[in-house]
């Protein structure tokens, strides 16, 4: 990783400084290389899951039929599926992160996690937030849903003034909880347009193959079809919302009575498992979390 990135990522993760690690240009490669949010490894029913991760994981890999990754984790899912090499994907993540960092520094912006009641109208709330920004003299303000997580949960991204307006008027829009995310910009919105061309150029320069198994895109929640399709949608993903809730519906859609597959979340943290529970409780019952770092520590002891 150090050869590709040009700096010691492991040292930065272990020793900091924290403010440097929190920068998008360093944070995204760290998250990706650490395996966080690799997402789903979906496996048909048919072998026991009560064994430890070290025993089951080879069988999981051999029998896996689908994968998905959240945001930058989509690159990890594609590497897992054989569509990209590790070094090439890491380099693409590096270029993506640096370009998004530059875009974030150009405009004061951010992301707001929102939990709303069933009657919450996110589109209308964003519209009024943009009007508020226009009244402040901001031209072409951005405020839009950037991540669909699960029913009644969204991430809204845009100009900071718009997000502050939504927090101040949360009750009016039936938002029960709002929280600013610790990120430097409005990712997955048109404020990231300056990052599109650099990522498009690097994706043209690396070899991308058809995945060996189904990989679902964040852009439309559907399966990637071929290498050009991957190239096109990975670029779109920078400025399009992450349709994770819709992706979960696509992954687990099945005829009534059909068993749900085993699902593994690979990487530190189990946030995607918590989201799956909100999206599809029956599918979640076959879910397991695998943290490769913890597993390595067990082997060493």
Query: Is 253 in contact with 159 (CB distance < 8 Å)?
Result: no
Q: How far apart are CA 19 and CA 23, in angstroms?
A: 7
pLDDT score at 62:
78
Q: How far apart are CA 35 and CA 294, in angstroms?
A: 12
pLDDT score at 179:
98
Segments of the chain assigned E as strands = 39-43, 66-68, 109-116, 143-150, 153-159, 175-180, 214-216, 242-243, 262-266, 287-290
User: Are 2-103+190-300 and 108-180 the same fold in CATH?
Assistant: no
**186-223 pLDDT tens trace:** 999 999 999 999 999 999 999 999 999 999 999 999 99
Q: How far apart are CA 144 and CA 122, in angstroms?
A: 8
Structure tokens at 140: 């072409």
Q: Can you tell me the mean pLDDT for 100-105?
A: 95
pLDDT score at 63:
82
301 pLDDT more than 90: no
Structure tokens at 262: 């085993």
Q: How far apart are CA 148 and CA 219, in angstroms?
A: 11
Structure tokens at 247: 């992706």
Superfamily of domain 2-103+190-300: Malonyl-Coenzyme A Acyl Carrier Protein, domain 2 (3.40.366.10)
CATH of domain 108-180: 3.30.70.250
- Please say if 26 is a catalytic residue: no
**229-258 pLDDT tens trace:** 999 999 999 999 999 999 999 999 999 889
Is residue 173 very low, low, confident or very high in pLDDT (cuts 50, 70, 90)? very high
Give one DSSP letter per residue of 1-61, joined into a string.
-HHHHSS-HHHHHHH--HHHHTSHHHHHHHHHHTTTT-EEEEE-S-S---S-HHHHHHHHH
In this structure, the strands spanning 242-243 and 143-150 are: parallel
Q: How far apart are CA 60 and CA 179, in angstroms?
A: 36
pLDDT score at 239:
99
Name the average pLDDT for the chain.
86
Structure tokens at 17: 């400084």
Q: Can you tell me the mean pLDDT for 174-197?
A: 97
Q: How far apart are CA 52 and CA 283, in angstroms?
A: 20
| Rounded-to-10 torsion of CA 9, 10, 16, 22 | 50
**10-64 pLDDT tens trace:** 666 666 666 665 566 656 666 656 553 445 566 665 544 333 333 345 666 778 8
The one catalytic residue in 26, 71, 159, 184 is: 71
Q: Can you tell me the mean pLDDT for 277-299?
A: 79
In this structure, the strands spanning 39-43 and 153-159 are: unpaired
Q: How far apart are CA 204 and CA 191, in angstroms?
A: 23
Look up residue 220 and give its DSSP letter.
T
Q: Can you tell me the mean pLDDT for 168-193?
A: 97
pLDDT score at 53:
37
pLDDT score at 291:
76
pLDDT score at 290:
82
Look up residue 288 and give its DSSP letter.
E
Contacts of 85 (CB under 8 A, 6+ apart): 79, 206, 207
Residue that is written with structure tokens 């209308």 in the block: 124
pLDDT score at 50:
36
pLDDT score at 167:
99
pLDDT score at 281:
96
The one catalytic residue in 26, 146, 188, 217 is: 188
Per-domain residue ranges for the chain? Answer: 2-103+190-300, 108-180
pTM of the model: 0.85
How crowded is residue 157: how many other Cβ atoms within 10 Å of its Cβ?
28
Share of the chain above pLDDT 70, in %: 77
Helix-strand-coil split of the chain, %, nearest 5: 50, 15, 35
């Amino acid at each position: 990783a150090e050869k590709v990135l040009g700096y010691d990522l492991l040292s930065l993760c272990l020793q900091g400084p924290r403010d440097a690690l929190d920068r998008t240009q360093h944070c995204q490669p760290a998250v990706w290389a650490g395996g966080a949010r690799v997402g789903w490894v979906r496996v048909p029913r048919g072998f026991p899951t009560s064994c430890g991760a070290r025993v089951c994981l080879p069988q999981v890999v051999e029998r896996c039929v689908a994968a998905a990754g959240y945001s930058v984790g989509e690159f990890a899912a594609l590497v897992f599926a054989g569509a990209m090499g590790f070094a090439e994907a890491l380099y693409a993540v590096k270029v993506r992160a640096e370009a998004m960092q530059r875009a974030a520094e150009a405009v004061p912006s951010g992301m707001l996690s929102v939990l709303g009641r069933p009657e919450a109208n996110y589109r209308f709330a964003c519209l009024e937030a943009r009007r508020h920004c226009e009244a402040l003299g901001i031209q072409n303000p951005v405020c839009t849903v950037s991540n669909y997580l699960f029913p009644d949960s969204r991430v809204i991204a845009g100009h900071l003034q718009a997000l502050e307006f939504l927090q101040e008027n949360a009750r009016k829009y039936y938002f029960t909880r709002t929280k600013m995310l610790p990120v430097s910009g409005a990712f997955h919105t048109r404020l990231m347009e300056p990052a599109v061309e650099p990522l498009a150029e690097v994706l043209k320069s690396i070899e991308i193959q058809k995945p060996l198994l189904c990989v679902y895109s964040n852009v439309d929640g559907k399966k990637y079809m071929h290498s050009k399709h991957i190239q096109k949608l990975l670029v779109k993903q920078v400025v399009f919302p992450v349709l994770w809730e819709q992706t979960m519906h696509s992954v687990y859609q099945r005829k009534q009575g059909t068993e749900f597959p085993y699902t593994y979340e690979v990487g530190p943290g189990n946030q995607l498992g918590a989201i799956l529970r909100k999206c599809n409780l029956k599918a979640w019952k076959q879910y397991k979390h695998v943290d490769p770092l913890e597993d390595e520590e067990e082997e060493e002891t």
